[in-house]
Amino acid sequence: MAALTFDALTQLNQLNRLDSQMSNFSVSSEENWETASDFSDCSYYSLFELVKDKWYRRIPASQVRDQVKHIPDCPVVPESIYPRNFYNKEALPLQASGPWREYPFCLNKSYVLGVPGPVRMIVNSSAPDDFDVVYHPQRLNRAAVLAKYRPKRYSKGAVPKPLPPRASNSPTPSFGSLGSSSTTTSFPSVSSPYPGYIPITPKFIQYQLAQYQQTLFQQAFEANKYIQQQILLPVLCPPPGLYPYYPAFTQYSS
């Protein structure tokens, strides 16, 4: 058990050194994305200010054009609130003239019902050929930002949308034999299941390292607690014939 605790602390020290190296890296900027080598001539919309939902930072313009053609005039189901009026409170330089309507954009599918993503298509029913794309950079801030149209150099799946987690076949450290709840951890992977995609940013790796460090701390704490419980501590008990509170050390209580 002591060896297991030592291994966990060794891994933690290695992660700390890796984290200090990663802190010297700079987060990818939009200019770096523009100079990548695996781009096509397809047009796209750039939503670079997105804090979350990074797989929406580049959306193909072909999907936007196709979904704009199928925006309904009224909600498809009674529970939906879209399409609805868009008032352009931020005074964005929209290509479409008012009055405007907004409708959610969903990557690789059409929106019907539910919590929409950060992207909205802005249209005018009287001028269907003119439309814009806006988005909310932060989930708690509903301010709208106009997406930038790029006529070419779209990288398909530059930041792919995450897939559901899959079970890993690699062995992972577990403390299920300690009599407490099992804690299983796998080292975070930065590789992508999609060939040709831009690697995940160092900021994302630092976040994963922090999560893994927290798990190692918990494992080391549980292992140390288990070791302490196995050490026989002196038990106070009164010897026969003496004052009942006189301290004496023995392994078992009488």
Going residue by residue through the chain (254 aa), what tens digit of pLDDT does each one get? 445 455 655 665 665 555 554 444 433 444 444 444 445 568 999 998 988 887 889 999 999 999 999 999 899 888 899 999 999 999 999 998 889 999 999 998 999 888 888 999 999 988 878 899 999 998 888 899 999 999 876 555 444 455 445 544 444 444 343 443 444 444 444 444 444 444 566 776 777 778 777 787 778 777 777 776 666 555 555 555 544 444 444 444 44
Sorted by where each starts, the structural domains of the chain and their CATH numbers stand as 1-27+201-254 (no CATH), 30-150 (3.10.450.30)
Contact 101, 83 (CB under 8 A): yes
Cross-strand pairs, 103: 121
Of 124, 144, 137, nearest to 47 (Cα)?
137
pLDDT of residue 216: 79
pTM, whole model, 2 decimals? Answer: 0.48
Of 142, 139, 63, nearest to 108 (Cα)?
63
The C-alpha atoms of residue 134 and residue 121 are separated, in whole angstroms, by: 6
Torsion sign over Cα 35, 37, 40, 41: positive
Q: Which residues contact 45 (CB under 8 A, 6 or more apart)?
A: 58, 59, 61, 64, 133, 147, 148, 149, 150
The C-alpha atoms of residue 133 and residue 142 are separated, in whole angstroms, by: 15
Contact 53, 141 (CB under 8 A): no
